[in-house]
């Protein structure tokens, strides 16, 4: 299973077999059951997860008990809680929406890997920059886009999730009610079939 992860890395950076062995030795594969809670709000964890199979999400719960989904992580995506990685209380929960297999990435993985692989630090910086850009776009969409625009962006970003997650989760991610999501989907279907 680690091979799926190292193959992913090989799409980003050139690695020899020896380097793959060196950067793989501290990695672990872990399975989570459907609906298993992985990280609770207020906890700390120095782990990052790379999803091999399955689906995870990060979310918060407001004072009224309503979930607000921050990110979905299907196969080939990374998920972590940044506060938690720096020994601060987590702002979010992480759970498995489906039965999920992940590679657990230790906090110092890229620092250690840079000792063996030229360009490993740059890969880490690029990934962090991509994550920042993703979150900036997400914030902008929530603040300024219509519900329809947000839904279309969701479909572009997560093309296979509309059939894998309940509609209330998609609505939560979009910052709208499930009823509003139903209207958006109906309006889009009507536009498409005219």
**Residue-wise pLDDT tens digits, 118-140:** 888 899 899 999 999 999 999 99
pTM above 0.95, yes or no: no
For the chain, helix (H) and strand (E) counts, in that order, are: 8, 8
Residues 142 and 155 in one domain: no
Residues 83 and 163 in one domain: no
Q: How many domains does the chain have?
A: 2
Task: Give the pLDDT score at 84.
Answer: 66
CA 118 from centroid of its chain's CA atoms = 26
Sheet holding 28-32, edge to edge: 28-32, 100-105, 48-53, 78-79
- Looking at every residue in the chain, the average pLDDT score rounds to 92
Q: Is the model's pLDDT at 107 over the cut of 80?
A: yes
- Domain span at residue 181 reads 147-193
Of 43, 42, 69, 41, residue with least CA distance to 56: 69
Q: Please, which residues have CB within 8 angstroms of residue 8's CB and are 6 or more apart in sequence?
A: 50, 76
Residues 79 and 29 in one domain: yes
Residues 187 and 129 in one domain: no
Residues 57 and 10 in one domain: yes
Q: Please, which residues have CB within 8 angstroms of residue 148's CB and are 6 or more apart in sequence?
A: 184, 187, 188
DSSP state at residue 106: P
Task: Give the pLDDT score at 31.
Answer: 98
- State the Cα–Cα distance between residues 127 and 131, nearest whole angstrom: 6
The neighbouring-strand residues paired with 105 are 48
- Sign of the torsion formed by the C-alpha atoms of 179, 180, 183 and 184: negative
Which pLDDT band, with edges at 50, 70 and 90, does 56 fall under?
Answer: very high
């Amino acid at each position: 299973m680690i091979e799926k992860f190292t193959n992913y890395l090989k799409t980003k950076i050139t690695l020899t077999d020896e380097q793959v062995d060196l950067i793989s030795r501290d990695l672990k594969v872990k399975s989570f059951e459907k609906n298993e809670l992985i990280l609770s709000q207020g906890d700390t964890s120095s782990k990052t997860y790379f999803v091999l199979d399955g689906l995870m999400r990060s979310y918060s719960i407001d004072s009224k008990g309503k979930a607000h989904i921050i990110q979905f992580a299907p196969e080939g995506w990374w998920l972590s809680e940044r506060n938690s990685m720096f020994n601060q209380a987590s702002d979010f929960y992480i759970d498995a929406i489906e039965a999920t297999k992940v590679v657990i990435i230790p906090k110092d993985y890229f620092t250690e890997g840079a000792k063996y692989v030229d360009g490993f630090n740059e890969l880490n910086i690029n990934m962090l920059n991509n994550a920042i850009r993703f979150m900036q776009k997400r914030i902008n969409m929530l603040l300024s886009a219509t519900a329809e625009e947000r839904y279309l962006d969701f479909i572009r970003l997560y093309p296979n999730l509309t059939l894998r997650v309940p509609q209330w989760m998609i609505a939560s991610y979009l910052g709208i009610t499930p009823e509003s999501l139903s209207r958006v989907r109906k309006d889009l279907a009507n536009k498409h079939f005219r």
